[in-house]
Amino acid sequence: MIHYKSKTEIELMRQSSLLVSETLALVASHIKPGVTTLALDSIAEQFILDHGATASFKGYHGYPFTCCISVNDAVVHGFPGKQELKDGDIVSVDVGVFKNGFHGDSAYTFAVGEVSEELQQLLRVTKESLYKGIEKAIHGNRVGDISWAIQEHTEKKYGYGVVRDLVGHGLGRQLHEEPQVPNYGKRGTGAKLKEGMVIAIEPMINLGTRDVYQDKDGWTIRTADGKPAAHFEHDVAIEKGKPDILSSFAPIEAAEKANANLCSSYYGLENPVL
């Protein structure tokens, strides 16, 4: 069953989604070589609690952490741990919060230090595909229109692997609601998009094969060929004429840029990687 939200409820969801964005921005300001993913998780959890919310993921089906932090070949659902991030890594941080009766859920993939041009392109194209999918998230279209736009940009244009095993989803009082929102598909198919729906669109795009497997921890999803993956996610309310993005990458990108400039100054670099 699809749960439709009133305008008042959507505004409450916007608050939750923007708190996720601010949490990710704080995490962005701490990402650098040598920091542990467990430290990032602790920073995020305290920030969420300090803002009168709880972490959506912690305890969800037994998940033991606040964030899903997935490094390099880990696509999603990675466990934070004592491993230190290294220069050249990419790291997806996926965060959910529950506040005022509604969930917010967003993800962003960060470059750690200087990354290769190949990985810079993967990050750029995956983020672009998210917005191409969002363009189709309007009243009267279908889920397949979103799916097709993402697949067309990543798989057809760049030859990347679009993960089939995991999908985006409806969002509201429950963390995962109907409809499912795949990142591959045909135009004009799937559930019809109607005003009042709120969905989380989240391309999960692999540098190589689309195939994945579950790690022995029972959660982490990794690429079958060991190549890196990228993951970006926005919460979107369906409206007539244009989509309404409830989450925001603006504070994240600002923090990411400031952090890159700080690191470049520390290491004496003239041209920071942004």
Each residue's pLDDT tens digit, 1-44: 999 999 999 999 999 999 999 999 999 999 999 999 999 999 99
- Joined tokens for residue 33: 């070589």
Residue 67 near residue 81 (C-beta atoms within 8 A): no
Say whether the peptide bond before residue 182 is cis (omega within 30 degrees of 0): no
Q: How does pLDDT run across 79-93, given as a tens digit for each residue? A: 999 999 999 999 999
Report CA 48 to chain centroid distance, whole Å. Answer: 17
Q: Report the topology of domain 7-267.
A: Creatine Amidinohydrolase (3.90.230)
* pLDDT given for residue 222 in this prediction: 98
40-44, 70-74, 226-230, 268-272, range with the lowest pLDDT: 268-272
pTM: 0.94
Tell me how far apart the terminal alpha carbons of the chain are, to the nearest angstrom.
42
Neighbours of 110 (CB within 10 A): 24
* Strand residues in 81-223 grouped as ranges (E): 90-99, 102-111, 161-162, 168-170, 177-181, 198-201, 204-206, 212-214, 221-223
pLDDT at 119: 98
Q: Provide the 8-state DSSP code for 136.
A: T
Phi, psi for residue 135 in degrees, rounded to 5: -55, -30
186-217 pLDDT, tens digit per residue, is: 999 999 999 999 999 999 999 999 999 999 99
What pLDDT score was predicted for residue 274? Answer: 29
Domain boundaries, the chain: 7-267
